[in-house]
Amino acid sequence: MRQLRLTARYLIIVVLLALAAGRGYANLTRATAGTAANATVVVPLDINKLADLQFGRAFFSANAHTITVAPDDSRTASDNTILGEGDPVSAATFLLVGEPNSGFHIYTPGPIALRNPDTQMTITVDSFTFNTSTSHSRLGSNGRFTVTMGATAHIKAAQPSGWYTASFTFSIHYE
């Protein structure tokens, strides 16, 4: 009888330990946590064109050459090309308006071709440069930033005279 009582006690102790262990194990297999959900609504980014990219006038040359307009509106030419006066020279200028202090990224266009509508001849424009970094710029505290864009025009040897033009796009995105 005494052995049966000891066995019953051991059995009760083993069952209590198993229940305690099971409860602890159950608590280890599941957990709960709280969290917050947030959203930020920002002002849409708007781009307003203020000025076109204009290379101005260059005189005919038997040699290929380049004309570069910098973001500060300065103009240079290679190969002693004579630059004319009378036509405007300017970097393209855009006013960005958006969420104050937000970062933005400029995606530059690939090469573009200025085309003479009379002759269908082209001038390649590439090497776009900006007055700001293309990858990590910021709008001002008033939500505005003026971007200026320069580029290089590649004039072929004996390029026919005339007016050359093209439309192109580039994009700016919030970071």
pLDDT tens for residues 83-131? 888 889 999 999 999 999 999 999 988 999 999 999 999 999 999 999 9
Asked if pLDDT for residue 3 goes beyond 70, the answer is no
Residue-level pLDDT at 170: 85
3-class secondary structure, 157: coil
What strands lie across the sheet with 103-107, from one edge to the other? 137-138, 103-107, 171-174
For residues 43 and 174, what is the distance between their CA atoms, to the nearest angstrom? 10
Mean of per-residue pLDDT scores for the chain: 86
Asked if pLDDT for residue 46 goes beyond 60, the answer is yes
Please measure the distance between the N-terminal and C-terminal CA atoms of the chain and give it in whole angstroms. Answer: 81
Whether pTM exceeds 0.85: no
Q: In the chain, count of helices (H) and strands (E)?
A: 1, 12
Q: Which of 154, 92, 149 is nearest to 122 (CA)?
A: 154
Tens-place pLDDT, residues 120-165: 999 999 999 999 998 889 999 999 999 999 999 999 998 999 999 9
For residues 56 and 150, what is the distance between their CA atoms, to the nearest angstrom? 13
Instruction: State both tokens at 7.
Output: 């066995």
* Average pLDDT, integer, range 64-87: 90
Strand locations in 10-143 (E): 46-51, 57-58, 65-69, 75-77, 83-84, 92-97, 103-107, 112-115, 122-130, 137-138
The answer to whether residues 150 and 132 touch, using CB atoms and an 8 Å cutoff, is no
